[in-house]
Amino acid sequence: CLGADLKERAKMDDAEVGLFVRRLRNLMDEIAALPVPTIAAIDGYALGGGLELALACDLRVAASSAKMGLIETTRGLLPGAGGTQRLPRCVGIGLAKELIFTGRQIDGQQAFSMGLVNHSVPQNSEGDAAYQRALALAKEILPQAPFAVKMGKLAINRGMEVDIASGMAIEGMCYAQNIPTRDRQEGMAAFREKRPPRFIGK
């Protein structure tokens, strides 16, 4: 994903551009708020809005040959769909500023070394190495208790927005919601009985 169609954007007036970017930001926020884990697989380009889309996901996997960057400053723009907020939370303020200020493109291995992606894999002959690794990662998550994963995601996301004491309170509230679930009881029973749990998401 190479981001917005700049030829289309050039035909918009200022008000239309503002509305377009607000809608795009809202879409990225909705993706980030999904109650299930999301994984971005980057096998080719993720530039501008494409990288902002990947940043809105919980996890990112990239082929080592993938190209990504928040390149908006090279076009007289700045990231407007969450990039200025999500990138620093992912790689740290200094690296985020460097990448945004320069508009630099990086490959999958560089992205992995700075913590932008969880995994970098060599590209395969089919061109879907990141997708295949993302699928394997999803298969690792799938057998886990759905409600516990949902609450874990909520606790992490909300906790990152506040001080640690407030974050601990958020974790406590999420944990309290998980206590009465049938899946928690099933997990404990499966452990006692030395068998795999059969979670149902309740």
Quick one: average pLDDT of 101-106? 97
Edge-to-edge, what's the strand order for the sheet holding 67-69? 45-47, 67-69, 106-107
Check pLDDT > 90 for residue 18.
no
Catalytic annotation present for 189: no
Q: Which of 49, 50, 82, 83 is catalytic?
A: 49
Q: Which of 40, 46, 52, 66 is catalytic?
A: 52
Catalytic annotation present for 186: no
Q: Which of 4, 46, 66, 134 is catalytic?
A: 4
Q: In whole numbers, what is the pLDDT of the chain averaged over residues?
A: 94
Check pLDDT > 80 for residue 4.
no
Structure tokens at 109: 């291995």
Quick one: average pLDDT of 128-142? 97
Catalytic annotation present for 81: no
pLDDT digits (tens, 9 = 90+) for 28-60: 999 999 999 999 999 999 999 999 999 999 999
DSSP letter string, 11-46: TS-HHHHHHHHHHHHHHHHHHHT-SS--EEEESSEE
Catalytic annotation present for 4: yes
Quick one: average pLDDT of 129-158? 96
Sorted by where each starts, the structural domains of the chain and their CATH numbers stand as 6-138 (3.90.226.10), 146-193 (1.10.12.10)
